[in-house]
Structure 1
Amino acid sequence: MDDDSPLARWEQRTEIPLFAASLVFTAAYATRVLAVGLPPFGRDLCAFVLLALWALFVVDYLVRWRLSGQRWWHFVLSHALNTLVVVLPLFRPLRMVPLYEVIQRKRGEPRLALHARVISYAGLSTVLLGFSGALAVYQQERGAPGATMQTFGDAVWWACSTLSTVGYGDIVPVTTLGRVIATGMMAAGLALLGAVTGSFSSWLLQTFTREGDERPPGS
């Protein structure tokens, strides 16, 4: 894609506003879930903010699709993050990740090596996904019969053990939707762990190969 294309210009102009929208979305969602004593007006306001930001993400998604000139399904498959942001609320905080790419670029070139960028993106995605996943599961598990997740701290502990693929089993979701969310987080945890492990292994191999090539003959 050419840097001067309409889609590239749209992405450059909207990254920071969408980053701010993701922050507001996360704050409104966290307030709605964690603020137990929130008055009805506050809950309605949070719901309105969440709905308005979802509409904003949908509009951005449609504009990107139209500017790309691609067929619908090709665009959906080639822009997985944007698709997840629109379809699944759990992944909307991940809309912050593309801004990291903008920050790490200088004069059109990445400031970090590919391996470092993959590890950085995976780490940032893990934190955002863990926090939003803990919120989503806690919202479903709170007050459910037989629930072992009693506090948000329990939810954070569960999210950490789930994303790290450890799975101690001391805290498990008991609701249907909670288990569905847990399944998605387990899959995401495996993908993120694989990305970090693969990138680190590749970096080690390249480092050892480069040092071997630089070693003087006969040493």
Structure 2
Amino acid sequence: MKHETAPPPAPREPVQIRWERRTQRPLLALAVAFAVAYAVPIVRPGASATTTGACTAVEWFVWGAFAVDYGVRLALAEHRGPFVRTHWLDLCAVVLPMIQPLRLLRLVSTLLLVGRRARMASQIKLTTYVVGAVVGLLMFGSLAVLSVERESPDGNIRTLGDAVWWSFTTMTTVGYGDHAPTTGLGRILAVGLMLSGIALLGVVTANIAAWFIARFEKDDAEERRQTAAIEALTAEVVALRAQVDTLSGALAAAPAPRRAKAAEGDRPGGEPPVSAPRV
């Protein structure tokens, strides 16, 4: 009795990849909580000390979760040196608030980590990521510049509406000039938004161009496939025609009795032809 061999087991997924897949959604939820905690004290400057302290605690808790996530991924990595070199953005985002614990730096670091984790998800398309980055930069840029410029004596960005309008015109590099930052940190934010807007616009343009190119290449490949199939079919027809011509020539060159015998053999059962009855 012949025994069938069992198929080899599928390769096991690395522990690091499983960790990243399982922690992706919880970390994104924590990032949303971070955004809310960051926005509340800015939108409501007269909030109580308890509310402000709770928001600050949430910010540091979320940031600690991202730091722990980086540490776990580093510990689970098979080769830690290449992991640190290829994930240098994550490392900078983790170390940055420890060097200068400012709320703005924690905000930038969280945005970097959220973007990094979003790019790791294969099911998230590039267009979705770009849209999310635009919305995130627009919202956080507005909140950050409002928190910096609202207390400035010469500032003209006093409300959330002014901040959103300024962020939108800055990201699109329009720059009407009706609202502009007057502090050094506000101008640094403006430069960051300008560069981010240009980069995102380039990504969108490149994505659209790549889509058209891929579409044209797909159509060309389908056309080449059909052309090759037609050429192969034509070659087969020509070969069959040549064989038929060869057989016809050989049959015409054969003697008459052989031709009659061949014609007789073509009938079913090899029976001789039935002659017509005489009248």
Normalising by the residue count of structure 1, what TM-score does the alignment of the two structures yield? 0.80
Q: Deviations over 1:44-99 (max 9, x none)?
A: 1111111222122111122222322332xx54552366346533433324655545
Q: Which amino acid aligns with 1:79?
A: H
Displaced runs of 4 or more, over 3 A = 74-77, 80-88, 93-102, 208-217
Q: CA RMSD in A?
A: 2.6
Between the aligned partners of 2:170 and 2:92, the Cα distance in structure 1 is 20
2:20 corresponds to which residue?
11
Preserved CA contact (<8 Å) 1:90 1:129: no
1:1-219 residue pairs with structure 2 within 5 A? 4-68=13-77, 69-71=79-81, 74-79=82-87, 82-83=90-91, 85-86=93-94, 87=96, 88-91=105-108, 92-93=110-111, 95-97=113-115, 98=117, 102=121, 105=123, 117-211=125-219, 214=222
Preserved CA contact (<8 Å) 2:90 2:112: no
- In structure 1, the gaps of 5 or more residues are 106-111
* Greater relative contact order structure (CA < 8 Å, 6+ sep): 1
Normalising by the residue count of structure 2, what TM-score does the alignment of the two structures yield? 0.64
Between the aligned partners of 2:144 and 2:217, the Cα distance in structure 1 is 45
Structure with max Cα Rg: 2
User: How many residues align structurally?
Assistant: 203
- In structure 2, the gaps of 5 or more residues are 1-10, 97-104, 228-279
- Does 138-147 or 202-211 show the bigger shift? 202-211
Q: Which amino acid aligns with 1:155?
A: A
Distance 1:76 1:165, change over 3 A: farther
Q: Which amino acid aligns with 2:28?
A: F
Between the aligned partners of 2:118 and 2:206, the Cα distance in structure 1 is 24
